[in-house]
Every structure is written in C-alpha cells, then in structure tokens.
Amino acid sequence: MTILVTGARGKIARAVTTGLAAAGHNVRVASREPSAVPAAPGITVAGYDAADPAPALDGVSQVFLYSDPSLALAFVAAADAAGVKQVVLLSSLSALGGPEDPHAKTEHVIAGGSYATTRLQPGAFMSNAMFWAHQVRATGQIRLPYLDAEEAPIHEQDIADAALRVLLDGPGNGHDGRGYPLTGPASMTRRHQIELVTQVTGVPIEAVDLTADQARAELQMRDAGQRETLLAYWASRVGVSQPIEPGVELLTAHSPRTFTTWLTDHPGLFT
C-alpha cells in the first residue's frame, strides 16, 4: 500500500519521505508545485490540491498531513472515501493553547474521520533560523521582535523521526487518537540562539530587537492574523522558560538534537 506525504517541498515532509523510502515503503509525495519535487526510486510525485485532495489520496492507506485549517473538511471526506487507515497530522504545540487556535481547529476536524489519527505537536522549529540566514547574508543583522522570548526549538529531523515511528508502527499500535507535544532539548532565548550561530559559524551578527510595530512593518507573513498570533505568542514567552516535552524520546528512543547540531547539519547557511 502507498503512504502519501503532503507538503512535499517542506523540510519535514522531505525527511519523512526519505525515511519511509529507506524502510522500503511505496511513497507518494504530493505538493502544490509537483514540478519542483524530484522523483526517486520508490517515490512518486503527485499534485496536491487541498480543496480537492481525492486524486492524491487514491489507493493510499496512510497519510502524513500538513495542516490546513480552511480545507480540513475536504480532506476528511476524501480520506474516508479513499479508505485511508491512518493520518499523522503535523500540528503545533500552539494547539494546546485552546480551541480557537488554528491548529487546534484543524486537529478537531481531522479527528472526525473514520481512520486512526495521531497529532504531532512541535514547538518552534530550529529551521526558522533559515530565515535569519537570509538577513545575515544580506545585512549582517538579525532583526526580530522579542529577542528575550524563550522557546525550545526542535530539529526537523526529530519531528520526522517521530512521524516515522508512528507511520511505521501503523494504526492500532498505541498511537491512535494521541497527541504528542514535541520540543527540542533546551529552553533558550532567541538572543542566545543568535549567539550560538556566531559561536558555531564564526560569523559576527548584530541582533536587533524590533518593537512590535517595527516587526509588523518588516515581517513578511502569509496573513496579518497569523502575524498577530505570533507576536502575542512571543510577547507571552519573554522571561518564561519553555517546558521540555518528552515526546521525541518517547517516540524515537533518542534525545532531541541540539541547536548546535542543527547548525553543523546546515553548513554554509550563514556565510
């Protein structure tokens, strides 16, 4: 049977795909831009229209699903019609903040299907530092609001390893209906993350602490609501340590990777 991985150009989807193919599974990767996704042995590429996911789901038994609040209902109907047995949803730690959170809303809708659902709930990704790298290469600065906000960033490979565990175990093996909060190994300020970038790469960086209004003017985001949610979240995290969740160890039997490891896994990013 085929496993569908959506969001094929995404960092986590790519790592999940590699792991599933290495384990000998037939993988169909689906993207909104399939021409930008390379095929490989054991991997086929399909288009993904979240408003009409039925073609991508044909013949699929399990799905690794990127969250899309507005189109989750269309997914449930198509997955049920296709006879999907298991969905592993890439959600967010923010879903634990209450039912109004967009990821919480998606979780609620996706759980309405007749397949088994498992929710992966990661906190901030270490890979957000890729956006900082563009700034550093262009200006030598990282310009962010709330530099003293604390998060426990997680390596994309740890999220992928957690997803692989659930997909390879399959439905009916202890993961059905569960949510797994996932964090990296340590709570730290974004200011400290920037110091670590300099320590590991040797690149001097000026960290510029933006006001919320400066950030509104400078941050390119898909929608204003998402930007305000993020600003409020960062404001709430200033001086507040992020609890470390056991999810990565529980699912992968290894410790979460450190930010220093992430930086050495992405050489040349800041230079």
Ligand X SMILES: NC(=O)c1ccc[n+]([C@@H]2O[C@H](COP(=O)([O-])OP(=O)(O)OC[C@H]3O[C@@H](n4cnc5c(N)ncnc54)[C@H](OP(=O)(O)O)[C@@H]3O)[C@@H](O)[C@H]2O)c1
Q: How far is the CB of 72 from ligand X (least distance, A)?
A: 10
How many CA within 13 A on the CB side of residue 223? Answer: 4
Identify which of residues 172 and 235 has a Cβ nearer to ligand X in the complex. Answer: 235
Nearer Cβ to ligand X, position 119 or 175? 119
Instruction: Name every residue whose Cβ is closer than 8 Å to that of residue 238 and which is 6 or more positions away in sequence.
Output: 146, 148, 149, 150
Q: How far apart are CA 206 and CA 270, in angstroms?
A: 13
What does the alpha-carbon distance between residue 127 and residue 154 come to, in Å, rounded to a whole number?
A: 8
84 or 93, CB closer to ligand X?
Answer: 93
**Smallest distance, ligand X to C-beta of residue 104, A:** 12
Instruction: State the minimum distance, in angstroms, from the CB of residue 92 to ligand X.
Output: 3
Residues lying near ligand X in the complex (CB under 6 A): 7-13, 31-33, 48, 66-68, 90, 92, 122, 124-125, 128
Q: From the CB of 223, what's the least distance to ligand X, in Å?
A: 10
Q: Toward ligand X, which CB reaches closer, 18 or 170? A: 18
Cβ of residue 9: shortest distance to ligand X, in angstroms?
3
Q: Report, in Å, the least distance between residue 202 CB and ligand X.
A: 26
Closer residue to ligand X (CB): 206 or 265: 265
Least distance between ligand X and beta carbon 63 (Å)? 12
Closer residue to ligand X in complex, CB, 98/204: 98
Measured at CB, which residue is nearest to ligand X? 10
- Residue closer to ligand X (CB basis): 11 or 216: 11
For residues 22 and 210, what is the distance between their CA atoms, to the nearest angstrom?
A: 44
In order of 114, 116, 141, 166, the CA distances from 87 in angstroms are 10, 6, 41, 10
Tokens read off for 203: 């690149």
Residues 171 and 149: their CA atoms lie apart, in Å, by 38
